Structure 1
């Protein structure tokens, strides 16, 4: 009896059977394709607490129902005394694991008889999926934009991405959440972004509250008028029209700066129709929809278009504002089209806004400090795709600094937003995709700097010319007189 009791004790120690354990106290979530790391952490805690790690790690191997023994010189198969104890413990552990799977995952382990096979199958499936999911979620986080969403929808969508990353064990720090949240706000929030990024950076929950308050204030006060449109309306004042193409006896006289009309005659519009009455409806319309004067594109005066301008066919005419326009134009240097990777920069920088997409004007107070201590102003912010021939290199949040001499690539920002790796040698450098090890771009060393050369933009033109008839030119020019057509034909 003592020998039998001792054998049972050893069997229970080797093959534990804790059937009274409440699994829900240890594993509170069902395994799905989004939470493998969290489920694995909870499940391992349960298995380790019950001393059953050997079943899934291989220290306790599968037993057979019979064993071979030799009695009186003959080999015989007898029942394995440990098989039933091993089977009960293994089936219990297998039941724990399968019971914590969601319906979409149970199908992956149907037909597997041991806990070790079930655990290995889940490990092979979800280990790779977790890595892919992490990459896709990081990509989604970096490209998530507010655009036409409300602040509530934008913050909710951003929190969903952060929760999905946390579900696979990749928690974002509070500062990273703040940065990526304001990174996707876009145009109209530059002042808010600048104030938030000024140290000390507030906590994420405080930034969300400040963002909602900022948006509420914008909705209350409305958007400001476009400063460009305001300046145009100030520079092109409304001009009174002194000439009317009406038939009949219509006269205009000027005395003491008070115009006086004599509207007797055929074709002159009645006074009641030409002047709006001061009714409440008109007053409301004037406040909500201010009248916009049409300015001529040739001479700049109002109340007529370029089609009716007197200077339309005057080739010698030059508007007064034309020299000022050309004085503000900055031609891009074709020899300065290369981009230089810089590990010490803090942003992508260029001097040519023509190379950027989604360009927005910068209204903040920040500037770019160069090596000599000089602060260079920032005029715009945009993004671009560098054409490298076989592929493109996306650059986001590129600063336009007209006084900068070189186009700079912020290496740290590029490697943070994309899965890229820079490798520098004595005469060149390459940019590789660390996931596929595929070369994305290659640059050469120029003096003491490494330069990435982009493919120049091609310019196409047609070499097919057709001679147009006088009727076509008459239609194109707005039906001018025959003398003008004859004059143009002689040139």
Structure 2
């Protein structure tokens, strides 16, 4: 037993009382950082269960000597935490105050006055002039949020009218979203417009997350630029006759079943697809084939036309030639989606059909909910009946779902941009968004 006790004593465990140990503040109080320092000290001292010594709620006892000694010890701890977190100049100013509450009040009166309109004006001015100016979006967002939080700390809220307070905070939140969006760089105009059209409106945090997500997607989806020299090199490597497998003896084991030559297959035999312009018949003349095979080769060349790079590329699969035939770049699919049902409705018209329905309808119009992808289809005789179909759908949604359509997305067809459709959308109110001319991709959900 004694040996076991000695072994334990040889490895002592140091136990330190957390309340007696000084805690690092990370911020030293000077003439300019009181708002940050005060918030940090409140958290640190509150975590030690000593907030009452700052506010004066823990009253100094007058009768019980043991309680008085304990109070003096705890108050000195809080005083030392406050003084240790100050610059040397401020230490000399506040160290002679007798209690922690006196130090806290003196510092507050020195650096902060909640009714100081000059400080509040300066903070608001900074929010108005803060711009991204090419810096990363997280840096710009964090700078704005710190200003907003300091403004909230300085603003007085009596809390007499709860409804009025909620309304003011809601309006203030929208105002700050507009400040954040206004300070972004011009290359984010598109996503800025999309965030303003969101229904319900995005909060400041949600707006920042939406823009940052779009920026990350654009960085991933941006194509890698191809240098012109690289394109020339690729085309040179794919030139016919210089590639293994041509009619020149090269490095493969193909044997043509048509002409009997090695180095190529029947699919790439020049006797069938035709000789290219660069072929030198003086060095290697045409093969003398039987009449039947020569007829096949001649007819094939007449049908296919004169040999060119395309006949070769059809077999080898040249990516450069395929991409050069594209008329436009592909549209990336939109990931925008309404958060509430029937808030955004996409619509499109199909027709005319070759055969009529028993009721004489040759067209149908679709209405698709962006949130749930639920679709309503109405058969119509003429495109001019689109307005009546939309009006009936709007009444149906209000009666059954107790909701209103906020946005109608369609193309620029005459049936959608009519005067009666415009007046109806203004009266309800419904925002009518239309795609650009000859760009059906922007109305892709309906198309």
TM-score range, shorter chain: 0.3 to 0.5
Q: Which has the higher helix share?
A: 2
Specify which structure has the bigger relative contact order, considering alpha-carbon pairs within 8 angstroms and separated by 6 or more residues. 1
TM-score, structure 2 normalization: 0.32
Q: Which has the higher strand share?
A: 1
